A and B are shown apart, each in its own frame.
Chain A
Amino acid sequence: MSPATDQRTLLTAAVAVPAIVIFATGLLGMNLLMALILGGFVAARLFFPDDRNVRIAVTIGAVIWAVVLPYMHDEAGDFMNIATLILAYSVMALGLNIIVGYAGLLDLGYVAFFALGAMMAGWFMSDFYANAGSGGEGVHFLVADFTENLFGIHLNFLIVVLIAIVVCTIAGMIIGLPTLRLRGDYIAIVTLAFGEIIGRIVANGDQLKYADAPLIGGALTDIFGQGAVFSGGREGIGPIDKIWFPWSDEPFEALNLRPWYLVALVMVLLVLFVNYRLRDSRLGRAWIALREDEVAAASMGVPLVKTKLLAYGTGAAFGGMAGVFLASRLSVVNADQFQFFFSIFILAMIILGGLGSIEGVLIGAGVLVYINFKFIPDLNDKPREWFNLDLDLSELSSAIYGFLLVIMMVLRPQGLIPERRRKMELVEHVGAGATTGVGEPSTEPTYEARA
């Protein structure tokens, strides 16, 4: 470690560690001790970026930290609510990160997978299909005793997650198919269109009667019962069953957030594992090669079709998984949730955090969930509280949100924690972006700069 980098690391740590501790305690409401430990992890990683033992120790420590975290806080408190949401959205952001960050396929329709996952929960974890099952008794499989007596189709959460993963993987590949010949922004347009189409179908799904479907109408009616339709339309579907596992007595409660948090944590750990392993695998390298230069990747023998479709499929599967979880947590599946805004919300997390960088994506998810679900709602009474002003900020919420997006991007266009490879290109002028050599980034616009 040369003196120059040492100084730089010190500076980064001096800014980043207090910032994280203050963000976690002051804004999120985390326990001070837990926040300090978190800061310690970050500092350890900053000072020993390449030390394998430190990395393993920090990883194990962070997992234990994350498991202990809910027991240090009020089980129904604000912090637990935000923490659970951050985890659930992190799953989606990490999924989208595979498509956009690794493979470089700009996807503006990620809401489609959230919608499909949530719809699976609506179909298979509620009384929506009230006439399903022989004699209209409903279909039950591995559910809590209390749920056994309800109408409709009720399957175990884990089974629904599996169904959602399969459905979303297939849907992701289908959506990917028309984009295979396209590049850049054209992919964005097609995915955006699919996102809107699926949103529309869910919103108007109460008009789609299975009995009217050609050929398979009869079979669908047998499965889902008389008069079954595709979705609840604007009314939505609810209530969705709470998560229940065979080893727990009762389903999860809305007011005890610890089990919800732990389930979300398991999902995040799973997704993180997949992300890290994929990034360093043959497939992950193929994705990054594809992102950097498609023609060069193809001529080095990367199978374009397979590689692209696998990116879409993997990313979509995580979106579906998080969709089932959020549907069960919010207990409702409503067409209004599936707006274009949602895709942008997730995309903003990964761009803000730093495209392709796993740590960055997690921080991006944390910051944006905090802004969207806590900062802006909390802001409303602040003028009165602080300045005794009679000003209602709830009317300004989307402007504040937009303003924060603009400011964050203008101040740090490469994201909070840029991926190492990209950082080298952008700041240190190694490889593709090299123009002026040492020191400052080039001030001349290079219009070629691509994501």
Chain B
Amino acid sequence: MEASTEAGRLPVRASTWERVRGWIGEYGLIALLLAMPVVYGIQDISDDGSLARLGNNIVDGLSNGAIWALIALGYTLVYGIIELINFAHGEVFMIGSLVTAAWFWGVIGLSEQTAILGLIGGLLLSLVVAMLVSGTLNVMIERVAYRPLRTAPKLAPLITAVGMSFILQNVGILWIGGSQEGVPQLVDPQKELFSIGGVQVSQGDVLSIATTIPLVIILTSFISQSRMGRAMRATAQDPEAARLMGVNVDTTISLTFLLGGLMAGAAGLIYALYQTTIWYFQGFTAGLIAFTAAVMGGIGNLQGAVLGGFIIGIIQQISDNRIGGEWTPAVVFAYLVLIMVFRPQGLLGEETREAG
């Protein structure tokens, strides 16, 4: 709209400006994302003569990013369908960690001494438990805090979301106390499995990526192929029309929350295994980071959320390792602002009315 009026007045300059703008829109973000690895890569080559340190950062970043990707899926699903930033989602992830590490492992007697077969079985079982608990919790949150407000002004559910998030944090405090708690190191996450050219791949890395990838594949194929997935996509596109076509919108929204919660629960278990500490406040930071990832990938886009999660994981790891962990949130959020400037629709997102 702006461009066309400008083009009418100043045809030549406007077209150059348009081309520059188009170029920035197309490649600016990619250049931006590559800047940090490239700069530190060059620094590594000149300092140590190899890229091993950067490679290690990237491997660690990917396995961290897998956790953010799983959480980001929940944000992107919910936002895609009811345009709500589910602020309580980080807490759903936290409860997923707590329910396994602080309760379920004790119930089934899982400890560092458990034999390998029992360990695998126990972990699979705790994955199911974490996912189910978080999924149910997310559905309940929707039922209590968001559904009554569906006709309300758009900002009202934002406040109930924050309220739910406080309540769940308090549940975490009552459960494990206010400080970070160590949990049994069921899988030694730092134990090196193999290394390629100085880049070490540890058990934790394999664990987190090997859990995430199948879950993401199952989720995306469910949404793209099943009947219920089609109902979800229809509701996201136009709830009123979907209702007319016989889609039960309320059930579909509940299903969306359930799927998001399942992913958050899985992320919670991986987090507990990978970080070997749990904390009532872990969901807050994780939520903000995962939300950034969802926006970076293009909110409402599943592949985008996963891609964004991995990218944020790498940025975060490089920043932790080189700049210092206390600056990492600032670095991540600075990236977020730059993405919004260059490509508000995100990496894989379509141009929408909101971010035109």
| Residues of A that sit less than 8 Å from B by CB | 100, 106, 178-179, 181-186, 188-190, 192-194, 196-197, 200-201, 203-204, 340, 344, 347-348, 351-352, 355, 395-399, 401-406, 409-410, 413-414, 422, 426, 441-447, 449-451
Complex alpha-carbon distance, A403 and B169, angstroms: 12
Establish whether residues A188 and B85, one from each chain, have CB atoms under 8 Å apart when the complex forms: yes
- Smallest beta-carbon distance B145→chain A, Å: 6
Establish whether residues B156 and A413, one from each chain, have CB atoms under 8 Å apart when the complex forms: yes
Complex alpha-carbon distance, A395 and B178, angstroms: 9
- Smallest beta-carbon distance B350→chain A, Å: 14
Establish whether residues A181 and B344, one from each chain, have CB atoms under 8 Å apart when the complex forms: yes
Complex alpha-carbon distance, A218 and B288, angstroms: 38
- Is B269 located at the chain interface by the 8 A CB criterion? no
Dominant secondary structure of chain B at its interface with chain A: helix
Nearest first, the 3 A-B pairs at minimum CB distance are A402-B166, A413-B152, A405-B163
Complex alpha-carbon distance, A19 and B218, angstroms: 54
Known contacts A178-B340, A395-B173, A410-B149; A405 and B162 CB within 8 A of each other: yes
Known contacts A189-B295, A399-B166, A403-B167; A182 and B354 CB within 8 A of each other: yes
Establish whether residues B153 and A449, one from each chain, have CB atoms under 8 Å apart when the complex forms: yes
Complex alpha-carbon distance, A124 and B153, angstroms: 42
Segment at the interface with A among B66-74, B195-203, B208-216, B324-332:
B324-332
Establish whether residues B163 and A403, one from each chain, have CB atoms under 8 Å apart when the complex forms: yes
- Which of chain A's residues has its CB closest to B169's CB? A398
Residues of B contacting A184 in the complex (Cβ-Cβ under 8 angstroms): 83, 354
Q: Given B153, B284, B334, B336, which contacts A189 in the complex, CB threshold below 8 Å?
A: B336
Most chain A CB within a 10 A radius of its CB, from B157, B164, B336: B336
| Residues of B that sit less than 8 Å from A by CB | 79, 82-83, 85, 144-145, 148-160, 162-167, 169-171, 173-174, 239-240, 249, 284, 288, 291-292, 295, 326-327, 329-330, 333-334, 336-337, 340-341, 344, 353-356
- Smallest beta-carbon distance B238→chain A, Å: 9
Establish whether residues B149 and A200, one from each chain, have CB atoms under 8 Å apart when the complex forms: no
Establish whether residues A404 and B163, one from each chain, have CB atoms under 8 Å apart when the complex forms: yes
Establish whether residues B144 and A200, one from each chain, have CB atoms under 8 Å apart when the complex forms: no
Q: Given B82, B85, B291, B336, which contacts A447 in the complex, CB threshold below 8 Å?
A: B82
- Which of chain B's residues has its CB closest to A204's CB? B326
Establish whether residues A402 and B85, one from each chain, have CB atoms under 8 Å apart when the complex forms: no
Residues of A contacting B158 in the complex (Cβ-Cβ under 8 angstroms): 347, 351
Complex alpha-carbon distance, A197 and B164, angstroms: 25
Known contacts A182-B355, A395-B174; A410 and B148 CB within 8 A of each other: yes
Complex alpha-carbon distance, A188 and B299, angstroms: 14
Establish whether residues A399 and B167, one from each chain, have CB atoms under 8 Å apart when the complex forms: yes
Known contacts A200-B329, A405-B162; A355 and B334 CB within 8 A of each other: no
Establish whether residues B162 and A183, one from each chain, have CB atoms under 8 Å apart when the complex forms: no
Complex alpha-carbon distance, A194 and B148, angstroms: 32
Q: Given A185, A190, A204, A398, which contacts B354 in the complex, CB threshold below 8 Å?
A: A185
Establish whether residues B341 and A178, one from each chain, have CB atoms under 8 Å apart when the complex forms: yes
Total A-B Cβ pairs within 8 A: 165
Known contacts A178-B340, A355-B153, A451-B153; A396 and B170 CB within 8 A of each other: yes
- Smallest beta-carbon distance A100→chain B, Å: 8
Establish whether residues A193 and B337, one from each chain, have CB atoms under 8 Å apart when the complex forms: yes
Establish whether residues A405 and B159, one from each chain, have CB atoms under 8 Å apart when the complex forms: yes
Complex alpha-carbon distance, A186 and B336, angstroms: 11
Establish whether residues A351 and B156, one from each chain, have CB atoms under 8 Å apart when the complex forms: yes
**Given A194-B333, A402-B167, A405-B160, 11 further pairs, Cβ under 8 A:** A178-B341, A181-B356, A184-B354, A193-B340, A197-B329, A201-B330, A398-B167, A403-B167, A406-B160, A409-B159, A413-B151
Q: List 25 A-B contacts (CB under 8 A).
A: A183-B355, A184-B83, A186-B295, A189-B336, A190-B340, A194-B337, A196-B288, A200-B326, A340-B288, A347-B159, A351-B156, A351-B159, A352-B159, A396-B174, A398-B166, A398-B170, A398-B173, A402-B162, A403-B167, A405-B160, A409-B149, A414-B153, A445-B151, A446-B151, A450-B154
Complex alpha-carbon distance, A413 and B334, angstroms: 34
Residues of B contacting A192 in the complex (Cβ-Cβ under 8 angstroms): 288, 333
Establish whether residues A203 and B326, one from each chain, have CB atoms under 8 Å apart when the complex forms: yes
- Smallest beta-carbon distance A293→chain B, Å: 12
Q: Given A200, A414, A446, which contacts B330 in the complex, CB threshold below 8 Å?
A: A200
Complex alpha-carbon distance, A414 and B334, angstroms: 34
Establish whether residues A182 and B166, one from each chain, have CB atoms under 8 Å apart when the complex forms: no
Most chain B CB within a 10 A radius of its CB, from A178, A186, A355, A447: A447
Residues of A contacting B144 in the complex (Cβ-Cβ under 8 angstroms): 406
- Which of chain B's residues has its CB closest to A396's CB? B170
Residues of B contacting A445 in the complex (Cβ-Cβ under 8 angstroms): 150-151, 239, 249
Complex alpha-carbon distance, A447 and B151, angstroms: 7
Establish whether residues B83 and A185, one from each chain, have CB atoms under 8 Å apart when the complex forms: yes
- Smallest beta-carbon distance A179→chain B, Å: 7
Most chain A CB within a 10 A radius of its CB, from B160, B166, B330: B166
- Smallest beta-carbon distance A84→chain B, Å: 25
Complex alpha-carbon distance, A186 and B330, angstroms: 18
Residues of B contacting A426 in the complex (Cβ-Cβ under 8 angstroms): 153
Establish whether residues B160 and A410, one from each chain, have CB atoms under 8 Å apart when the complex forms: yes
Complex alpha-carbon distance, A190 and B346, angstroms: 13
- Smallest beta-carbon distance A229→chain B, Å: 14
Complex alpha-carbon distance, A422 and B295, angstroms: 30
- Smallest beta-carbon distance A52→chain B, Å: 30
- Smallest beta-carbon distance B164→chain A, Å: 6
Residues of A contacting B164 in the complex (Cβ-Cβ under 8 angstroms): 402, 406
- Which of chain B's residues has its CB closest to A444's CB? B151
Known contacts A178-B337, A181-B356, A197-B334; A402 and B165 CB within 8 A of each other: yes
Complex alpha-carbon distance, A446 and B82, angstroms: 11
Complex alpha-carbon distance, A197 and B329, angstroms: 7
Known contacts A178-B337, A204-B327; A406 and B151 CB within 8 A of each other: no
Complex alpha-carbon distance, A193 and B151, angstroms: 29
Establish whether residues B155 and A451, one from each chain, have CB atoms under 8 Å apart when the complex forms: yes
- Which of chain A's residues has its CB closest to B153's CB? A451
